Amino acid sequence: MTTAFEQRYGFPRRDVRLENWRTRPYCTWSFQNVSELVPSAQVSSAAEAEPGEDPSDILALTLDLPAGRETVSAFLERSFTDSLVVMKRGRFIADHHAPTCEPASPHLVFSIGKSLTALLAGTLEDEGKLDPSAPVTRYVPDAAGSAYGDASVRDVMDMRVSLDFDEAYTDPESIFARYRRSMLWNPGPRGQTLREFVLSLRKGQGPHGGPFRYQSPNSDMLGLIVEAASGERYADLLRTRIWEKVGCKGHCMVSIDAEGNARGAGGVSITSRDLARIGEMLRNGGIAAGRVVLSERWVRDTTTGGDRQAWKDGDFAKLLENGSYRSKWYQSGYASGAFMAIGIHGQWLYIDPSAEVVIVKQSSQHLPVDDPLDHETLRLLRTIAERV
């Protein structure tokens, strides 16, 4: 007998396992149910029901893409989009969800979690508990002897650590596979905890503070730093410093390892509306519902203060030709001043200050990285921001 689960997703629940949960078709379910596969700490268990706004006008827009014109609706289906949420001047104007996506289900946003971890660092800097110019070892003394032993917190926040690490998502024999076992995201012998893995990494060639190098363990290190600087758990920090102040309404969690170390580089699951609310707070210079979440100074530095040369010499210059990177947020280099957070498998938080628009796109793309599709997605985001 076919179950309701199979009718909806096209496969039985028992087929989703640790070795395949990040691949299609299984990720259409698993990206919304990470806690059934990986240990997770609750940030908030709230799940306030919210009516969605009609997305019809936005779905009918046309995109000019390299292969020709395409409707937004067709592009969203082709790019395995689970949800698309649009805000204009602080008001939700469109909510689109795929048939397999529950609006109230927290969706794994992968490396957008890096940007959220940096927001925690920003709140601690505002409180005088964290100094970005300080050495990492001020907060994590056992980092001495690792790649981070002579790095600054700022090097970590801007992905300018000299690190001997290869971000090879699909190589089962790489150091990245060992990294994923340490965080309990892959099957097999665990070996080290996430903390032990990060502190075992060695310095690469060249000094810290050089080109932008996208290496995820830097953000797990930042997670360790914010916990040490505050004396609080990551999940509690996210709830008290961001969640409650912004006025988020849904369920949120972060994956943890066997010892409770939070995955600050990409373990956060969050609803699309709540992610948009965080983006709206940043669009308003760190203010949400009349209260200061982050200082305007910190937000301005994060959204405009990136080193353009470090970006041009780095890993992602082809994605944003005139872009830059600061405190784990991408600066577009567009005339609009747009900035964003990005996660693998098609996760986007796009903020356009000029158009007063915030857009969230959550997806279950099969490939972790798809450069042509990323460029098309940027076209989608820019088109929506310009036309709503």
- Concatenate the DSSP letters of all residues of 268-295 into one string: EEE-HHHHHHHHHHHHTTTEETTEESS-
CA–CA dist 146, 148 (Å, integer): 5
| Tens-digit pLDDT profile for residues 274-302 | 999 999 999 999 999 999 999 999 999 99
| Tens-digit pLDDT profile for residues 180-214 | 999 999 998 878 999 999 999 999 999 999 999 99
Q: Is there a contact between 157 and 327 (Cβ–Cβ < 8 Å)?
A: yes
**Residues forming beta bridges with residue 248, ordered by sequence position:** none
Query: What kind of fold does domain 4-131+233-387 have according to CATH?
Result: Beta-lactamase (3.40.710)
Active site residue 111: yes
Q: Is there a contact between 248 and 277 (Cβ–Cβ < 8 Å)?
A: yes
Is the pLDDT confidence value at 48 over 80?
Answer: no
Catalytic residue among 79, 105, 111, 182: 111
CA–CA dist 236, 243 (Å, integer): 10
Neighbours of 205 (CB within 10 A): 7
DSSP symbol at 381: H
Which tokens sit at 99? Answer: 């048939």
DSSP symbol at 348: E
CA–CA dist 306, 337 (Å, integer): 12
Contacts of 291 (CB under 8 A, 6+ apart): 245
Per-residue pLDDT, 127: 98
Q: Is there a contact between 120 and 105 (Cβ–Cβ < 8 Å)?
A: no
- Residue 73: pLDDT band (50, 70, 90) is very high
Per-residue pLDDT, 101: 96
At position 12, the amino acid (one-letter code) is P
Per-residue pLDDT, 256: 97
Alpha helices in the chain (DSSP H): 4-9, 27-30, 56-59, 72-78, 112-126, 153-157, 175-182, 194-200, 217-230, 234-237, 244-246, 272-283, 296-304, 308-312, 371-387
Q: Is there a contact between 151 and 132 (Cβ–Cβ < 8 Å)?
A: no
Closest CA to 261 of 231, 230, 235, 240: 235
CA–CA dist 148, 219 (Å, integer): 12
| Tens-digit pLDDT profile for residues 99-124 | 999 999 999 999 999 999 999 999 99
- Residue 170: pLDDT band (50, 70, 90) is confident
Alpha carbon 14 to chain centroid distance? 28
Which tokens sit at 7? Answer: 């009718």
pTM, two decimal places: 0.96
